[in-house]
Amino acid sequence: MGARDKLRNYFISNVGKVLKTQRLRNVAGISEYGRRIRELRDLEGFQIKTHVDRADLKPGEYILETLDQKPIISRSISPQLRNEILERNGYTCQLCGAGPGDPDPFNPHRKVRLHIDHITPVSQGGIDDKDNLRVLCSACNQGRSNVQTPTETALNIIAKIRKLPKSGQREIFGILKRKFEIKA
């Protein structure tokens, strides 16, 4: 059982009681118990309060007020992290290879937009970690695209091409066109 699971069980079986840091650290078995408690609060909606929320609590005291979980408010990813993921994925959808402004495969009058997607969904405990984030286009993000996913090699090369200025992209297009165009 992971630290977060142990803490969740402990809070649930002590609902309404003030719990102290020392005990929670022992239950979690790790020094990062504070982070796991924040995840229970922010990712799972458990109403765990501290001295920041309640004047009657001292620093280092926690209380799970109720077993009711608040609906999760989807937290926005910071602009820095968003840019980092976009840059890393070369502004390219990691499922279909689309880039910003490419036509929406299901609505040619619209263009796809890029989203930052959680690989493990937040509802299943996925966090805003670089390893858990990737770029998806609006079509794939809504599960509408059924385009065959390009190979990783192709995705990497598309990402590189997309970073070139338009003239460079045209040059590559021209080369491939000459190579593959069927001559009448």
Question: Contact positions toward Zn ion, by CB under 5 A?
Answer: 93, 95-96, 98, 137, 140, 145
Residue number with CB closer to Zn ion (45 or 150): 150
Which token pair is 54?
A: 């309640």
Shortest CB 144 distance to Zn ion, Å: 9
Sign of the dihedral defined by the CA atoms of residues 164, 165, 167, 173, in that order: positive
Nearer to Zn ion, 98 or 159 (CB): 98
Least CB distance to Zn ion at residue 152 (A) = 15
Q: How far is the CB of 104 from Zn ion (least distance, A)?
A: 10
Q: Which is nearer to Zn ion, 19 or 140 (CB)?
A: 140
Of 7 and 137, which has the nearer Cβ to Zn ion? Answer: 137
Residue 30, judged by CB atoms within 10 A of its CB (0-12, 13-18, 19+), counts as middle
Among residues 106, 164, 39, which one has the least CA distance to residue 174? 164
What is the closest distance, in whole angstroms, from the C-beta atom of residue 82 to Zn ion in the complex? 17
